[in-house]
A = this chain, B = another copy of it.
Amino acid sequence: MTKKAQKPVEAPLRAADRIRASASELFYREGIRAVGVDEVVERAGVTKPSLYRSFASKDDLAAAYLRDYDLSFWDSFERPGGKTYGNARDHVLAYIGQLSPRAVAKGYRGCGLSNAAVEYPSRDNPARQVAEAHKKVFRKRLRELAAGMGARQPNVLGDALLLLIEGVYVTGQQSEDGPAQSALAAAKLLIDASVKAG
């Protein structure tokens, strides 16, 4: 038994990774501006110089957090509930179907990317740039799925679904039992009205 074989089993967990994990949790739950770098490193069990060896600045760390968020978002969006969907309508409805109950639950904090864009209105902020890029791709993907549903105006349906989903993100963190509970019904209404012959 060599040592090398054990390495992937017991992760050494580098400081940079611990910081990423700590930052992700804190930035998401409390917001980026609300969390200081001291809090991040304390929770990560590392020290501040370690942070600045891996990240140029807090803004840079925030951007890294959002890039991680983007990755895990696409995981959950493309395989909602762990399943894959060939049918575009089923796919979108499955995503909204698993999102909606989470959004009306207690500690829900919405979309980290949308939240970051609210926190940083200035276009040249690195974190915001990640958020903007993500949202552009998300919009494109939803329009694509809308086309796959056979919508008469796929761009309108795609945008409508995006507005609905963003509405779920933001209202979900405003109150429990909020309007997000109607998101699935609203999406069905929207899709069926867009696909039907008119």
- Interface on A for B, CB 8 Å cutoff? 29-31, 33-34, 109-110, 114-115, 117-121, 131-132, 135-136, 139, 153, 155-156, 158-160, 162-171, 173-175, 178-183, 185-186, 189-190, 192-194
Contacts and interface: CB of A to CB of B under 8 A. Distances in A.
A192 to B, nearest CB: 7
Nearest to A171: B166
Given A31-B118, A109-B121, A165 B162 contact: no
Contacts of A131: 174
Contacts of A117: 170, 173-174
A22 to B, nearest CB: 18
A118 to B, nearest CB: 5
Contacts of A118: 31, 110, 114-115, 118-119, 170, 173
A88 B49 CA distance: 59
Given A33-B34, A186-B190, 13 more contacts: A33-B33, A114-B118, A117-B170, A118-B173, A135-B174, A156-B185, A159-B183, A159-B186, A162-B171, A163-B163, A170-B170, A189-B189, A192-B193
A33 B119 contact: yes
Contacts of A167: 162-167, 170
A173 B34 CA distance: 21
B119 A119 contact: yes
B153 A185 contact: yes
Nearest to A117: B174
Nearest to A34: B33
Contact of A193 (B121, B162, B189): B189
Contact of A170 (B158, B166, B194): B166
| Closest 5 pairs (CB-CB, A-B) | A163-B167, A160-B186, A159-B179, A159-B182, A167-B167
